Amino acid sequence: MNGYGMTDSGLVGHRERVDRTRRAIRMVMVVREEDESSMVLEYPQYYLQISFSFRHPLMVIGLARELAVPGSERQWEKINTLNLRSILGCHAVNEDLGCYTYRATQWLDTDMDSARFLEILGRCAEEADKGYRQLLQQSVADLETDSCN
17-35 pLDDT, tens digit per residue, is: 999 999 999 999 999 999 9
Quick check: helix, strand or coil at residue 98? Answer: coil
- The values of phi and psi at residue 115, to 5°, are -65, -45
pTM of the complete model? 0.83
- Using pLDDT thresholds of 50, 70 and 90, give the confidence band for residue 71: low
- Using pLDDT thresholds of 50, 70 and 90, give the confidence band for residue 139: low
Cα angle at 60 between 19 and 116, to 5 degrees?
65
Provide, rounded to the nearest whole percent, the portion of the chain with pLDDT above 90. 54
